[in-house]
Amino acid sequence: MDLKNIKEEIQLEKEQIASFFSSFGDKTSQDLNNKKSEILGKNSLLSRLFSSMKSIDEKIKKEVGAIITGYREYLNNLFAEKEKELFNKKIEQRIIQEQIDITLPGNNFSVGANHPYYKIIDEISSFFISLGFDIATGPEVETEINNFEKVNIPVGHPSRDMQDSFSINNKYVLRSHTSSVQARVMEKAKGIGPIKIICPGKVYRRDNDATHSHQFGQIEGLVISEEITFASLLATLKELIRHIFGKNRNVRFKPSFFPFTEPSVEADVECFECDGKGCSLCKNTGYIEILGAGMVHPNVLRLNHFDDNKYRGFAFGLGVDRIAMLKYGIDDIKRFYINDVNFLKQFTKE
Amino acid sequence: MKFSLNLLNKYIDIKNIPIKKLVDRLVFSGFEVEEYHQVASGTKLVIGQIISCVDHPNSDHLHLLKVDCGKKYGVLQIVCGAKNAREGIKVIVARVGAYLPSINLTINESVIRGQKSCGMCCSLTELGVDKSLLTDSQINGIEEVDSSIKVGEEKVLKVLGLDDTIIDVNVLPNRGDILSYFGLVRELSSLFSIPVNSLPAINKILSKNDKSLVEVKTDLCPRFDVVKVDSVIPSSTPEYVKKALLISGIRPISSLVDLGNYAMLLTGQPFNIYDADFISKKFVIKDDITSSLITFDGKKIQVKNGDIVICDNDKPVCIAGIMALKNASVNNSTKNIYIEAAVFSHKAIRSTSNRLGLSSYSSNLFAKGRNMSLVDEALSTIISLLPEFTTNFKVTSYSSNYTNNLKNMNPIFTFSLDKLNQRLGGHYTKEEVKAVLDAYNIKQLPNNKLQAPIYRNDIAEQCDIEEEVFRYYSVDKLDINFDSYPKTYFHVNSSLIHNEKIISNYLINNGFYRILSYTLIDEKKDKLIRVFSDKESFKVRNAMTSDHEIVRSDLLPSMLETIHYNLDHFQNDFKLFEISPLDLVDGTRTYLSIGLCGKKTNQLKSQDIDYSFFDIKGYITGLLSIIGINQDRVCFSYSLNKSFHPKASADIKIDGKFVGTIGKLHPLIENENIIVGELDLTAIDELVTNKIKFKPFTSISNIKRELSFEIPNNITYDNIITTIINININHLINAELYDIYNKDNNQTYLTVSLTFSSNDEHIALKNEEIDEYIKEIVSTVENKLNIKLRK
């Protein structure tokens, strides 16, 4: 075989392959594989050329070798390219087959919701847990002693009237505030501090209109220690209110009165409807009353077996329903207790 | 209490303090100011006199007036519709350009039905005066001003005594002393450092107690004083007094009655004035009278034991603090009087007043509790007012059961500035604190002892001074911080609270809504359904309605009520739960109630299926495992609860202990397709034991086989599974439900899936081995349960 002959044969096969590819049409990858084994297989021209290398003239051996390996590379590339083309086509077809209407609704994994009352309790609890408070609970059918006497509301005090709280019998009432839990916690502490608790829970009063329900929720807090100050109470209330209503809200304090505490304060938040400019929600005052608090009255400490020369404390209380109504703009407290699904499903967001 | 700024001004000069500043100072020193407003307002007003009044030619009700408004404004033609418009009367004219804020009206020159009108004759309501201060004729017509006021007068509101502002202060219970003009005057004096104009001095008669006229036979009346005044000749009540009474909601009646009421407003002490000629012996105060009595205004009322009654010896003359009786009340011909000032038990007054449905300004004052030491000042005040109400009088005697009068009974106590600063976390100086003590007339005695003035019996110990100091200065004086906090850490002191949270989150994440319902329910609902205790529930004895009377012992009545409310309001498909502690007669338990209603929805509504027993069972199994109770400890058996469906509900036991019931309710109780359940979380909490403990595992391919049995009604899935498990085949690692198929009626095929696995990673199970196992299982199940493998 001479050089010219080799070149001719290669050229001939090249033309033949070119015509195969040009008329490939919708031939399959199987057809391509058949052609590939024909061209690159045992009986192929390439194979023959390689075996003829043994008998080739030493002078042109190097040149022929280069031509043959070059041709092999050419063929490999040619087929690899076509294979790739066919593979891509196949993937494209699969993609088209697998098309779905992504606008159809998703499978139904229904989303539930926490009741707004419990959302507020959770929100406030998490604030106090982060400050190291514990959560205390107690019964709702409570002794008159825990509900009144122990929190500085002696017999004859106006809020002990039958028209204000629900009475079970001569000894028991439905608790009218969660202060009764504080009395229980203090009792258990046997005069030894510190105490740092919040008590969330249901309370009951004989009251009934758009903003009052005979049942509502309260969260009260109590800290008793040797060091605690009124200034720390105010700092706590300010941060609590900002935790609930937004970190940039102004908070203001007004002196007030509660039998359980002295001095007492009320904390107001800057109205979040009008940003303090004055609107119907804040009755044009720019502020909304949020909670009451104060330093535990020494008499309460004494009544609960704490040495009021050694210990002092602060306490605060807020209405869960009221906070929820303000925060979510709920118009009537009774909605909390009716549990209309149209109401409940609005509180899906965590 | 509503205060007239003019009357306050009589006792303290606050004319130069802007009202906004006054109110803010009050608000930020512990007084709630409900509102404040001018009694009347309007610009460009002038007094005029109607000099001619004829019918408007083009109207059947309007008048055409000529009103003389003095030299400056001349005679104006005004069209007026008031029925009482007539020649000769003096009226208030709002001139052209006048603005009346309460009706938001600007007066323009106008032509009304062809006649020019250059102003408006006003009623007091048009000037903003509250209707409660006016008579019917004042409300319905233009104001007819006193003929002594001269035409052309432009300071109309002032001459009519209407240039006043009312401040409504909500007085908190510790400051009963502020329920009086004198109290607020003293407070304003302290807050603004303005001296009080002289308050009446203590009358000398009060040091001559002859005691003979008073006998108190009850503990409910610690102090009862009477002053006898003879030879009175009542004159008419001064106009400014009438206005002050009206502002406080008290109708002027007659000069002697008005005297008592006016003195009450000033001092906060209710008075009762008796016609002395109808008091034959002496005043005896009792609380043990049961009788039917007639009040001074002719109402018949029933008094009983515990009501304080003032008697002329044995004859009742007054229901203490509430209402005088007809027989000894003052009238126009009264000549000699007794003025009574007393202190009664506020609890007794409240209870009598509530029971009789009678309340008055004075009963409300008494119900708040009185400072006994203030009676001296009150009696001195009313005596000092006598010259304005009677042209003649003679104070003849004083009698009281109280032996400490004229003494300051307030305690002397020790005060420490250091303690104050420690407790408040503040840096108040000695001078700043002294300024407060001085402002409030607190007596500073040697050895750091303090004593409050007679009218402030709320100040009795260190913390009371701390309160005064805090409220006297701005809150900004305190540098607020967290520095004083004791360092403590949150503990989960109750796993119940912890598990409650976990269960609640689990259910919410599974599409449930948490509900909150009333603790108080009606008796019928309470008896309708009980899962746990069947004991009698607590009952409140003063329920507001019978709907909310029983302290519930079970959550399911409320759950059913909620479900039905929603069904009635066109909500059909939902999942609800409630977790709440309940107070039963034998202690507090926390229960969980669940309600499933309607269909669970898929992507395709056509494939929605009703919630079933198996949904709730699945949720229960899930929530138990999430708090650490494995399925193998939980046993379900047909419920024995009579309120539940006997064949479609289950009682749940954990380690043999009953913890709840789930399923359908009995058709007699519930017609709708509702699935409910209730668990006792307190009981479950005690059963939570398991901790997470890692077990090594191998990854071996498992072999699954299915077996299908034909089963009759009396054989359950549990029977089959238990039978299979009890064979104890080492390589059988799981047996579970694969399919259930009801063919025709009564023919049920149940297929179980069995999973076999080699215990050794290196040895695979052979098919022959498994075939042997299957053979053994089939024959055991067929023999033990007497059922057949499906061919």
pLDDT at residue A160 greater than cutoff 90: no
Helices (H), B197-345: 239-247, 255-267
Alpha-carbon distance B551 to A131, whole Å?
A: 35
> How far is residue B510's CA from residue B513's CA, in Å, rounded to a whole number?
9
**Separation of alpha carbons A120 and B509, rounded Å:** 18
> Contact B591/B680 with Cβ under 8 angstroms?
yes
Nearest chain A residue (CA) to B467: A263
- Distance from the Cα of A217 to chain B's closest Cα (Å) equals 11
Residues composing chain B:
791
**Which residue, among B382, B406, B402, has the nearest Cα to B393 in the 3D structure?**
B382
Contact between B511 and A194 using a beta-carbon 8 Å cutoff: no
Model confidence pLDDT, tens digit, residues B93-116: 999 999 999 889 999 998 988 889
**Segment A240-266 mean pLDDT:** 92
Query: Residues A17-41: what's their mean pLDDT?
Result: 86
Tell me: the pLDDT tens digits for B325-379?
888 888 878 899 999 999 999 888 988 988 888 888 888 888 887 889 999 999 9
Q: Pick the residue from chain A with its C-alpha nearest to B28.
A: A254
H/E run at residue B587: strand B587-597
For chain A, give the mean pLDDT.
Answer: 89
Phi, psi of B395 (to 5 degrees): -80, 120
* Mean pLDDT of the region B275-295: 90
Tell me the Cα Rg of chain A.
Answer: 43
| pLDDT score recorded for residue B343 | 94
**CA B16-B17-B19 angle, 5° bins:** 125
Q: State residue B453's pLDDT score.
A: 95
Residues of chain A above pLDDT 70, percent: 97
Residue B19 has pLDDT above 70, yes or no: yes
Supply the pLDDT for residue A256: 93
Mean confidence (pLDDT) of chain B = 91
pLDDT band at B245 (very low <50, low <70, confident <90, very high): very high
Distance in angstroms (rounded) separating the CA atoms of residues B77 and B117: 6
Q: Which of residues 111-140 of A touch B (CB under 8 A)?
A: 111-115, 117-118, 129, 131-137, 139-140
Selection from B78, B65, B43, B45 nearest residue B152 by Cα: B45
pLDDT tens profile A93-151 = 999 999 988 888 888 778 899 999 999 999 999 999 999 999 999 999 999 999 998 88
- pLDDT beyond 90 at A152: no
Is the pLDDT at A227 greater than 90? The verdict is yes
Question: What H or E segment, with its residue span, contains residue A89?
Answer: helix A58-97
Strand bridging mode A251-258 / A261-270 = antiparallel
Nearest CA in chain A to B581: A139
B556: closest CA among B533, B587, B585, B586? B533
Q: Is A313 on the interface with B (CB under 8 A)?
A: no
Look up residue A227 and give its two tokens.
């060091």
Shortest Cα–Cα distance, A148 to chain B (Å): 15
The reply to whether A242 touches chain B by the CB within 8 Å rule is: no
Nearest 5 degrees, angle CA A303-CA A306-CA A311? 130
Per-window interface: A 147-176 vs B, CB < 8 A = 155-156, 158, 161-163, 166-169, 172, 174
Q: Which residues in chain B (568-587) have CB-CB distances under 8 A to chain A?
A: 569, 571, 574-576, 580-581, 583
CB contact under 8 A, A110 and B511: yes
**pLDDT top residue among A48 and B27:** B27
Report the alpha-carbon angle B173-B174-B179, nearest 5.
65
DSSP helix/strand/coil, B273? strand
Taking Cα atoms as reference points, which of B4, B440, B464 lies closest to residue B193? B440
ipTM: 0.85
Residue B340 amino acid letter: E
- Assigned token pair, B607: 């494939």
Cβ A107–B518 below 8 Å, yes or no?
no
Alpha-helical runs (H) found in A98-224: 116-130, 144-147, 179-189
CB–CB contact A140 B173 (8 Å): no
Confidence of residue B757 (pLDDT cuts 50, 70, 90): confident
**Is A168 in contact with B551 (Cβ distance < 8 A)?**
yes
Q: Is B128 left (phi over 0), alpha (psi -120 to 50) or beta?
A: left
DSSP H or E segment with residue B753: strand B747-756
pLDDT digits (tens, 9 = 90+) for B197-212: 888 999 999 999 988 8
Q: Which residue of A has its CA nearest to B578?
A: A115
CA distance linking residue B649 with residue B641, whole number of Å: 9
d(CA A159, CA B681): 35
Report yes or no: A303 and A152 within 8 Å, Cβ to Cβ: yes
Does pLDDT of A244 surpass 90? Answer: yes
User: CB of B541 within 8 Å of any CB in chain A?
Assistant: yes
pLDDT-derived band of residue A270, with 50, 70 and 90 as boundaries? very high
User: Quick check: A167 and B494 CB within 8 A?
Assistant: no
Q: How many Cβ pairs within 8 Å bridge chains A and B?
A: 238
The full DSSP string for B448-512 is TEEE--TT-TT--SHHHHHHHHHHHS-GGGS---STT----------HHHHHHHHHHHHHHHTTP
**Residue A344: CB atoms within 10 Å:** 26
| pLDDT bucket at B612, cuts 50 / 70 / 90 | very high
Q: Which of B763, B772, B752, B741 is nearest to B705 (CA)?
A: B752
Handedness of CA B621, B622, B623, B625 (dihedral sign): positive
Position with higher pLDDT, B494 vs B259: B259
Chain B interface mutation, best of A184, A218, A262, highest count of B Cβ atoms under 10 Å = A262
- What proportion of chain B, given as a percentage, has pLDDT over 70? 99
